[in-house]
Structure 1
């Protein structure tokens, strides 16, 4: 191990996917004409001792997801400047610093929730802030909710989380958030529903790495119906895929994303509003 790098080889399972997400985001941020400004992600990859190459391709998807959630969060924080942002299973996201740059006079508070090995690495690798509180626990340990003051607004992010949960766990997390945080919002992403059927053991991203199984997903039709089936949800927004770099991601994929006959078969970026 390189002396000045921090070893992350102990991470496994779903926690290891945080490194895959980080690597994809950092790669995209380092390209000329980058679609995402994330210098901290680049610094993180350079600071971690890990075999990132085993993950395979470093496509635009992770950077585009970050753009989508940043836009939703920034819009909410503009209306609720002293809100609490809860980052569930945050991994090595650097959203706090991107949003602090994007929001005028940032006053929001940040609650980072993840398993102990990830939080320990975050605290070694990332700068501290009086506006950040870290909790070493599962997102399914709902005691984190007691640490949130909902009076000034709550924005919950669950990037790359719900799909790895069992369906009853994922739905209960949504139900409890809607119950506890009226006036708040929640952003999450899901893969196409066919993934859990076609790859029950997980998708291979390279010859040396298989992404963990994703047992939970909902179609855009099912997501839209949450407003009728989950008390406390007053609106469900199907968030557009941001435009990326190159003809496919700037033109073809956005068109497919909105094409009616195929919408129910794609993945989703979803923003819930709680009443």
Structure 2
């Protein structure tokens, strides 16, 4: 068993949720690498007190997979840049998705995460790492963008200050024309709560603050306010399991009930409040 200190809880809780989902007979995501990682770690995952049927983080991972697969199908030799990748195992899920084995992968994260990934995850000549902050934009010099770039920021932007998140989006749009970027954001109410540290501590304990979020309308305005952003797509949540995720949400898409329902879902499952895909102009 491998000790994980000082890897953050935010990286480990998403891993645990995906592995728990992948172990189910009726799993919505196939993630054997996540199962392998959880089984190899000396860590008390029970401290999270999460339901074994919590599917929101697995659905988020599936949404990112779907968007990346669409891009890779059209740009099979492109580079996927996983910003703040944590203990995600997206590369192996996509490599098994029938889109070929020519795409390249760049993981960008801080030293503890990279060190743990290098110890526990298999190597691939198509994978490389960059050990630095996402806000040190020199990482962009390492990206081979000749055949396209797909940037993922799964579970990352909410933890950055608003100005830093927007600067990151602007610089990606400037540097990678023809590429795409996907990210998720919690409800705007959670960012407003994060602006009040004392109240945040009372309600959320020592969980890291999430000061950045945008409404769907504010996200759409990025196409006008950020040079290089050609289109903004508000992505639907993939079909899940149970009445809400398998029946209600897919049928509500585009109807008047859609927004109120998604706001309610965002209040209960903040990780799936909004899923956004930016298309950068060429």
What TM-score results when the alignment is normalised by the length of structure 1? 0.91
Find the aligned partners of 1:244 and 1:203 in 2 and give their Cα distance: 32
SS of structure 1 residue aligned to 2:123: coil
Shift of 1:189: 0.2
1:272: how far off?
Answer: 0.3
2:42 corresponds in structure 1 to 49
Q: Which of residues 249, 260, 270 is equivalent to 2:276? A: 270
Separation of aligned partners in 2, 1:9 and 1:62: 22
Seen in structure 2, the aligned counterparts of structure 1 residues 205 and 88 have a Cα distance that, compared at 3 Å, is farther
Q: Is the 8 A contact 1:8 1:49 kept in 2?
A: yes
Give CA deviations for 1:2-46 in whole Å, capped at 9, x if unaligned.
Answer: xxx1101322xxx33010100011111111110000011011000
Report the 3-state secondary structure (helix = DSSP H, G, I; strand = E; otherwise coil) of the residue aligned with 1:150.
coil
Give per-residue Cα distances to partners, 1:43-102, cap 9 Å, x unaligned: 100001111111121411110011101010011001111100000000011100110111
How far is 1:104 from its partner?
3.0
Partner of 1:177: 172
Q: How does 1:1-275 map to 2 (within 5 A)?
A: 5-11=1-7, 15-58=8-51, 59-198=54-193, 200-201=196-197, 202=200, 210-255=206-251, 258=254, 259-262=257-260, 265=263, 266=266, 267-275=273-281
What count of residue pairs does the alignment treat as equivalent? 266
Structure 1 unaligned residues grouped into runs of 5+: none
Quick check: 1:220–1:264 contact (8 Å CA) kept in 2? Answer: no
RMSD: 2.0
Cα deviation digits, residues 99-156 of structure 1 (max 9, x gap): 0111332100100000000000000010000000011111111111000121100000
For normalisation by structure 2, the TM-score amounts to 0.89
Runs of at least 5 residues in structure 2 that lack an aligned partner in the other structure? 267-272
Q: Retained in 2: the 8 A contact 1:196–1:215?
A: yes
Q: Contact between 1:112 and 1:135, CA under 8 Å: does it hold in 2?
A: yes
Kept after mapping to 1: 8 A contact 2:158/2:210: yes
What secondary structure sits across from 1:46 in the alignment?
helix
